[in-house]
Amino acid sequence: PLPRFTGDMSIQSKLDPYGIPEEVLAHCQSLIFIVGLSPSTNTSHASIWEALAKQPKPADQLPVQYRLTALDQCSIPISKQKRQSFEWYTPKGVLKSNWFTKYQNHVPALITIFYSLDWADPVWHDKLQDLATSVAAIRNGLGGRSCRIALVLLQSTSASTAAPSADDSSSSGTSSGSSSSSEKAASVCSQCELPGKHLFVLPFADTDHLPGYIARLEAALSEIASGFYLGLSKSVRAHRDYLNKTNHQLLFVRHNTKIGFLAEIRGDLQGAIKSYLQSYQHLSELRYTDTNLHELRIASAIINYKVCRVNFLLNLPRDAIAQFRRHIDLFRPRMGPKPLLFEHYAWLAVQYEKFGSLFEGAVMQGLPAVQTQHPGFYYQQAAQFAALRRTTALHLCAAATAGNNSLLDNWDCLEMYGQRPWRAGKHSLEPPDSEREDCGIEALQFYEMSQVQHSEVIIPLYSRAVAQFQRYKCPRIKQQLMIQMATEYHKATHHAKALAILQHVLIQYRVERWWTLVSASAKLTLQCSYYTADAAAYLAIALEIIGSRLMLPLDYKSKLYNEGVCNILQGRPPAAMSPGTEIEVAGVEEAWETSLQLAQREAVTVDMTVIAPCIEVRATFSSSSTAAYTNTPVTLHFRNNFTEAINISKLRVTITKQTIPQKSPSVQSKQHAMQQQQQVAATATLTDEQKSTTGQKSQLGSVILEAYNNEVLTLEPNSVREVEIPFVPEPLTDNVKSLKLSGVSCSLASRSSSGGWNDSTAIVTSLQWAGAGNEGITALTADTPQHQEFNLLCRDKFATLPIISDMTVHSQEPNIDIQVTHDSEALVWEWLEVKVEIKNNEQHSIDDLKMSLTLQQPLLVPALEQTTQVCSSSSSCSTVSSEACSAAVKELQLTGFAAGASSLQTLYVKSLTATTRHFTLKVSYTSKLVIDGRNVNCPCETTKTLSITARIPFQVEVSCESNKFEATSQVCAGLPFLVVPRITCSSHVPIIFTMSKLLLGSSVEAACSGSGCVAGCCLSTGEVAHDCFSVRVAASTPPATQLPLGHYLLHWNRVGSSSPSVSMSVALPSVGVEVWGVIVEASLPPHTTLHTPTAVSYTLSNTTSHSVECVVSMEQSQYFMFTGNQQTRVRVLSSQHEVLNFVLYPCVCGDAVPLPRLTVIIDSKLPRTAVHDPILPRILPSHLHVKPLEKKLESVTMSSVAAVV
């Protein structure tokens, strides 16, 4: 047989006589012992144990606690002998302290034995006998308890050959059809005396399906364990049926609690809540006295906790809250004996804390909560009752002694919950020994005073309450709880933590102007800073306390300033403002000595922006804009809100350069650009009447001017002192847009020292304000509201001071005259002259003279700069390409000149589109000034705006015409034709053309030499000029539908301009090309006379590579008589020509007399078989001017004609 259980089932945790035991707080889980696994030595066992312990469980499966136990260590507490009757049984108390932990940690519901045994094992019978022996040993060690035993056979065979159970319905593997396996399974059940459903087969070799096998095995084991608790619950219920309320009213409470606990383990939450409520009802019907109140109170707390937790698990939060309120209402009036009143508050604190934990856990699981009902209220109540516990204990237990401490021996291992250790196991309405009871009460009082750290109980409750109120957005209550938590830290001598909390809360109070709350918290903050020896924190809160905002007595403020602030300034520890023990005072003074020694090496800095100080300051520029190197004083207004004079020194104003933020869509980039600001600290010299000295230093590119370095400035009580500090700004760089007042600082001086700054023991205290002094909390301390109308009524001069915190610095006003001469209307493509005359009116010569002409980029025409060109000289206009010219001339360096002299500079602007352009002309230079006895090169700058409207100067239309000036789009290769440009002037000023020519294509050539005919032509608005060029397409050009001819180049300028001429190129039209083979040309005079013979010849040219035969005929005409062959056949060899001569005799006169029509018929394989229509009419003259005869000649001619006839 196995050894018997010898363990301790008592509570093994930190003693909390008023709390709920840990075993009650633990979640209910079925306890299953695992026997036969060796995870440390066997990898297969390790895989099985890991799957059992760590594998996720289904949501509907009951929670199970697996405990790995060795076979020789599987001992269980022996069950006590059952009573046959409870008629004469007197209970010792309500709830036993070891019952819950016994069934949660020591008595398992099921013992599962894992044993390696294959169906085909060669030593099957020997292993079976060994297995039966082990099962019998475990069964003998149960001690009379009804714990279940299950057997799991670990087999290395696959699942297809394993017989998982003698009963197929309880299998966790795949059953086999082998009859031998079933017989062996039945043999195992028979030898081990186990039912078939308690035998399982686990094929551990199949690692892929092992998690699934384990899940099915867990479900089966959980079901068996649930059956154990169901049987145990029936046994307890059977015992309860033998009870009667007359003698066993306490047992009704105990048995119903057990039934509820067992139902909770089985997952029967409805049955559990029913049993717990019945138990609580029986408990509430008991008679309460001061003697048994504590036991009944602890028992009721356990049952109430169970009821509330099950209600939350059932998602019934309203029922849980109602039960808790009923529980509190029932026991709050029952305070118990007066000497132990602190126990009542301790018990109430625990009740609220545990219910808040249950509520918080339910919220974490998805239960919604609101601002008016959430766990924070219960934590807050718990903290308040814990504080009442301490207060009551301090009042009641002050006289307790340690003479009766032995009565509390074995307090942590009582048999019944809530009983007194000096009368353990006795439940009675009256104490059996009154004297012993009084001694026990005194022992409890001494234990409360000596062993309980109340702050350690209160502070965590406040912390949890703060977290909940912050989560549910209740800032007011959260701040109140933080103040209370800081108070507890202070009482627990954790002054640094208290100080950190108070400083955080005070910021919120100041922002919201809760000056009453600030006043109430300031004294505690001062004490914490005193005990932590924090000089900066002490001075900050002290300077706030002595101000007018905090409502504290004037004598307290005066003492604080004289014995606290002044002592620190003189290097001495401050006086304690609240009484303390000698040990505490000595330790604090030693800490202050160390802190002050460190402060003597490093100045103490106080941020006056985050407090409501006694000294207020307002800084302002005298102007929002000023010129460089001009004295622009900064005015400081100091107001002392204290009732005594305060001395300050080392005034300093910090001025920051505000840089232009980079263009970026990212907010982080903008913030990064603002962080790159360069700071210039500037303080200034006060006048001799103010009795101050100044010094100027240069450090890392910044200027630092200090004032009152060795003098003291006294601020009279409740008055305003104005100080004016001269400031001479330097010119700003391009990336700086303005100057800003970013900080004001001064040093605090003690009243007794005027030159005490050289004292080695003095503490330098720097008071710093952000901005102009009106930022942060300081801006909220003003008496006047934010509206200007009310400010006028309140008439607070200091609060309504106009503040100019930003100032722009521009260059010195230039003393030069600039005259700009140009035509406001420019012509597109021309270089417009812009003449700039600069006259020096300065008293000295000017140097570093620069001129810039830039285009102002309009919003509606973003690409205007691409169509604008600016040059600085006429040579640049002609030599620099258009692509190299930009839309601006920047930083054009000019030669400086003496005072009274002038300089003339010419710029040229070209506009490529017809629109209005605005230009900025900037002239900068440096002049010499004398500032504070030193020569300074002062930069000056002036700008002017120019507007130029560009318009189209003329329009060019180009047409192609035949030699007869007829428009044509088809030309013959080898025959000349005309290119006629038509120029229409639209300029507002006369323009003159200097040259025109054609830039012909590769297949086009000029028919005659010479340039265009418009050179030297001058046009005004509306006038038109024609140019004419004779060109031909090369004879070798193949036929084409569209042949580009080239470009028409025209040079022009406005009349009288000295700027370079402008060249403009116009594309010529494209023409179609025809190839005829035979070209006919006519030679005849431009005019003739009536009845006068006129010689006419026609030349036929063959442009082909073979001979051509042509039939040429002349049609008869009524206007002319002619001599020659009317029809003839002509052979024209390749590249040769033939001439046909005719004599025409005009019969009529006129301006355009039709000529006889010539017809040419080609009898060869040419592209055209007949060219007379419509080709010849296009290339041959069709009319001739015939003049009439004179009268004398007419008679002679008529007679000669008659003679011929």
Q: Where are the domains of the chain?
A: 22-235, 513-602, 603-810, 816-949, 954-1074, 1078-1187
- Please report how many Cα atoms fall inside a 13 Å half-sphere around the Cα of residue 280, on the Cβ side: 23
Specify the DSSP element, H or E, that contains 114: strand 110-116
Give the residue from 968, 966, 1082 showing the smallest Cα distance to 1033. 968
Task: Extract the tokens encoding 110.
Answer: 């099921």
Q: Give residue 586's pLDDT.
A: 75
Q: Give residue 503's pLDDT.
A: 94
Give the residue from 1081, 1125, 1129 showing the smallest Cα distance to 1102. 1081
- Distance (Å, whole) CA 1024 – CA 1018: 10
CA 862 to chain centre: 32
Task: Extract the tokens encoding 1123.
Answer: 């001599």
* CATH of the structural domain 1078-1187, one choice from 1.25.40.10, 2.60.40.10, 1.10.10.10, 3.30.70.1710: 2.60.40.10
- Distance (Å, whole) CA 306 – CA 280: 10
DSSP 198: G
- Distance (Å, whole) CA 224 – CA 815: 107
Q: Give residue 330's pLDDT.
A: 95
**Average pLDDT by consecutive 10-residue portion of the chain (1205 residues)?**
41 66 92 92 91 84 89 79 64 89 92 92 91 91 88 77 40 47 90 92 86 92 94 89 78 93 94 96 92 93 96 95 96 93 96 96 91 93 96 92 84 87 80 86 92 93 96 94 95 94 94 91 94 94 92 93 92 83 74 89 90 91 88 91 92 85 47 38 35 41 70 91 88 79 88 50 87 76 52 63 87 86 89 90 85 81 81 63 70 84 90 89 85 78 90 91 82 85 92 90 83 88 91 82 88 86 89 81 90 91 83 89 89 88 92 89 59 66 88 50 35
Q: What CA dihedral angle connects 211, 216, 219 and 224, to 10 degrees?
A: -120
Contact 809, 729 (CB under 8 A): yes
Sign of the dihedral defined by the CA atoms of residues 1137, 1140, 1141, 1147, in that order: negative
- Distance (Å, whole) CA 9 – CA 528: 47
Q: Where are the alpha helices (DSSP H) in 371-429?
A: 375-396
Which CATH number applies to 954-1074?
A: 2.60.40.10
Residues 6+ apart with CB under 8 A from 323: 304, 307, 308, 311
Burial 732-745 (b: 16+ CB within 10 A, else e): beeebebbbbbbbb
Q: Do domains 22-235 and 954-1074 have the same CATH topology?
A: no
What 3-state DSSP class applies to 974?
A: coil
User: What are the two backbone dihedrals, phi and then psi, of residue 241, each rounded to the nearest 5 degrees?
Assistant: -70, -20
Give the residue from 272, 291, 292 showing the smallest Cα distance to 283. 292
List Cα–Cα distances, 658 to 630, 635, 668, 750, in angstroms.
19, 20, 17, 37
Rg over CA atoms, the chain? 58
Peptide bond into 726 cis (omega under 30): no
Q: Which CATH class is domain 22-235?
A: alpha beta
In total, the chain counts a number of residues equal to 1205
Residues 6+ apart with CB under 8 A from 606: 536, 539, 540, 543, 765, 766, 767, 768
- Distance (Å, whole) CA 527 – CA 584: 12
DSSP 564: I
What 3-state DSSP class applies to 1129?
A: strand
Give the residue from 645, 771, 761 showing the smallest Cα distance to 712. 645
Q: In angstroms, how far apart are the furthest CA atoms of the chain?
A: 191
- Distance (Å, whole) CA 784 – CA 792: 9
Contact 202, 51 (CB under 8 A): no
Q: Give residue 980's pLDDT.
A: 92
Q: Which one-letter amino acid corresponds to residue 365?
A: Q
Give the residue from 1080, 1073, 1071, 1075 showing the smallest Cα distance to 1176. 1080
Q: What CA dihedral angle connects 1008, 1009, 1010 and 1011, to 10 degrees?
A: 70
- DSSP notation for 816-868: EEEEEE--SEEETTSEEEEEEEEEE-SSS--EEEEEEEEEPPPSS-TTGGGGE
CATH second-level architecture of 816-949? Sandwich (2.60)
Contact 249, 285 (CB under 8 A): yes
- Distance (Å, whole) CA 628 – CA 924: 14
- Distance (Å, whole) CA 1085 – CA 1082: 10
Task: Extract the tokens encoding 151.
Answer: 């057997």
1082 forms beta bridges with 1098
Sign of the dihedral defined by the CA atoms of residues 90, 94, 97, 99, in that order: positive
Give the residue from 986, 990, 1039 showing the smallest Cα distance to 1016. 990
Q: Where are the alpha helices (DSSP H) in 561-693?
A: 566-569, 582-601, 667-675
What 3-state DSSP class applies to 279?
A: helix
Q: Give residue 140's pLDDT.
A: 87
**Threshold 0.75, pTM exceeds:** no
- Distance (Å, whole) CA 302 – CA 741: 66
Contact 412, 15 (CB under 8 A): yes
Residues 6+ apart with CB under 8 A from 1201: 1091
What 3-state DSSP class applies to 671?
A: helix
Contact 991, 1015 (CB under 8 A): no
